Amino acid sequence: MAPVPTISTDAVDVPVALLGYGTVGAAVHRLLVENAEDIERATGHRLRVVKALVRDPQRARKWLPDPTILTTDFAEIRDDPSIAIVAEVMGGIEPTGTYMRELFAAGKPVVTANKQLLAQRGGDMFGAAKAAGVQLRFEASVCAAIPVIKVLRESLIVTNVRRVLGIVNGTTNFMLTNMEGGADYAGALAEAQRLGYAEADPTEDVGGGDAAAKMAILASVAFGCRITLADVDFQGITEVTQAHVAAARELQMVVRLVGSATLVGSSYDVRVRPSLVDRQHPLAAVDGAFNAVMLQGDAIREIMLEGPGAGGIETASAVVADMVAIMGTHGTGFLQNDSTWRTLQKLPAGELPSPFYVHIEVDDRPGVLARIAERFAAHEVSVSRLIQTPIDSGAAMHVVLHEAPEGRVLRSLADIAELPETRSRPMALPVVSDRGVSGLGWS
């Protein structure tokens, strides 16, 4: 076992290391060098990168003033007692998780940008950090430069945050904004890939898994309860078409991939869904690759944080802020480490109330509208607005429903799907329109 380093609060020079020297890692190094004086003024310390773990040291890199810092041997970082903090910016679940556990055991605090590792194995990681008595900080794992973790766990400590609504994936928001401009799904994806907003394999973004991991982390911090990726009910934007975007426009709304985490009594609901957002709602104004998180709670009504949710320098700014925070704080209590402390039940599927938009395609026959209305009424679901557009010898109905539990809406749609006039499976998307809360029993 390596000797446990102690961070001397007197030392000006503080050697640090990076796991990963890619987009984010190089940007962390650059920020530490270019802002060394500011950091020293604020903290009395200079954080100096002495080692960075990579796979291929020969690969060309954007910013590398000193190639001798690169290593392929993790033990050089783990076993160097002078290294006081490690920033994990390599991504992936393994070997990353094992490396982090070994760093904790060696007494090194870690800062991470890794949302999937925390959303899938947060319990293990925070447990290992706590057992070793070191900090694990993770601001960069959610929405890059937006300081939402710090605000949730520090600034809002006496506020019961009961709902978090967010646009937490820049790739899909860029694509949906592009589709509003007329592009189809494939064209919007190609443009996002051309501009570097989407990976060659975009599955984690367009399938909703990236947003779901971020929502699991946000919900865990907001509600003080461990919520993992497996607890998040998520759907991406792969089925969103120009027809949905055009219908939203007709209804004075926009389509957005919205993550929501809601506290209902002692239950939580965390989900990610393509949703229709009222143009008056602040989330509707979040365009392009930007992210935004709205926090609603007892004392604050609501707070919205908006900003760039990805990018090397943007993410690195949060990594560096966490490294500086470690130098500036001591101990491993609630404010520095794991923020979860209780167990909540998962709200049963279908119980969360929401307004919905429903798309139904039918043969245009007398009485069909009445039969659809009857099916909604049978499940105590009521219609707020209806637009009908002609399609070849039939009609497309764009229906906005008043707030109702999703289960009742889905049961009424199952009944409507059985009608002989119904042409295809009706589709329901949640509508985001209210800025307050209703129907959830909150005071």
Q: Which residues pair with 225 in a beta bridge?
A: 342
Binding site for ligand NAP (CB under 6 A): 20-25, 53-56, 59, 89-92, 95, 113-115, 140, 144, 310-312, 315
Q: Which is nearer to ligand NAP, 113 or 183 (CB)?
A: 113
- Nearest position to ligand NAP, beta carbon: 22
Q: Which is nearer to ligand NAP, 24 or 253 (CB)?
A: 24
CA dist., res. 74 & res. 59, Å (int): 18
CA dist., res. 280 & res. 244, Å (int): 18
- Considering 62, 115, 214, 346, which one is annotated as catalytic? 214
Whose tokens are 């760093």? That residue is 103
Q: Which residues pair with 302 in a beta bridge?
A: 296
Q: Distance between terminal CA atoms of the chain? A: 53
CA distances to 182, 351, 359 from 241, rounded to whole Å, are 11, 27, 12
* Residue 410, C-beta contacts closer than 8 angstroms, at least 6 positions apart: 350, 428
Least separation in angstroms between residue 144's CB and ligand NAP is 5
Q: Which is nearer to ligand NAP, 55 or 425 (CB)?
A: 55
Least separation in angstroms between residue 310's CB and ligand NAP is 4
Q: Which is nearer to ligand NAP, 52 or 416 (CB)?
A: 52
Q: What angle do CA 49, 52, 58 make, to 5 degrees?
A: 125
CA dist., res. 17 & res. 51, Å (int): 5
Q: Where are the beta strands (DSSP E) in 131-252?
A: 136-137, 161-167, 233-234
DSSP 279-305: TTSGGGG--TTEEEEEEEETTTEEEEE
Which amino acid, 125? M
Least separation in angstroms between residue 116's CB and ligand NAP is 7
Q: Which is nearer to ligand NAP, 92 or 133 (CB)?
A: 92
CA dist., res. 117 & res. 320, Å (int): 19
Q: Which residues pair with 360 in a beta bridge?
A: 397
- H or E, element range at 30: helix 23-34
Least separation in angstroms between residue 324's CB and ligand NAP is 18
346 is catalytic: no
Least separation in angstroms between residue 140's CB and ligand NAP is 6
Least separation in angstroms between residue 124's CB and ligand NAP is 17
Q: Which is nearer to ligand NAP, 55 or 301 (CB)?
A: 55
- Measured in whole angstroms, the distance separating CA 171 from the mean position of its chain's CA atoms is 12
Q: Where are the beta strands (DSSP E) in 66-160?
A: 70-71, 85-88, 110-112, 136-137
Pick from 68, 165, 70, 150: which is nearest to 111 by CA?
150
Least separation in angstroms between residue 159's CB and ligand NAP is 26
Q: Which is nearer to ligand NAP, 116 or 336 (CB)?
A: 116
Least separation in angstroms between residue 90's CB and ligand NAP is 3
DSSP 135-162: -EE-GGGTTTT--HHHIIIIITTTS-EE
Q: Which is nearer to ligand NAP, 106 or 247 (CB)?
A: 106
Question: Can you list the alpha helix ranges (DSSP code H) found in 262-354?
Answer: 312-328
Q: Strands 161-167 and 353-363, how do they pair?
A: unpaired
**Residue 217, φ and ψ in degrees, nearest 5:** -70, -45
Catalytic residues: 214
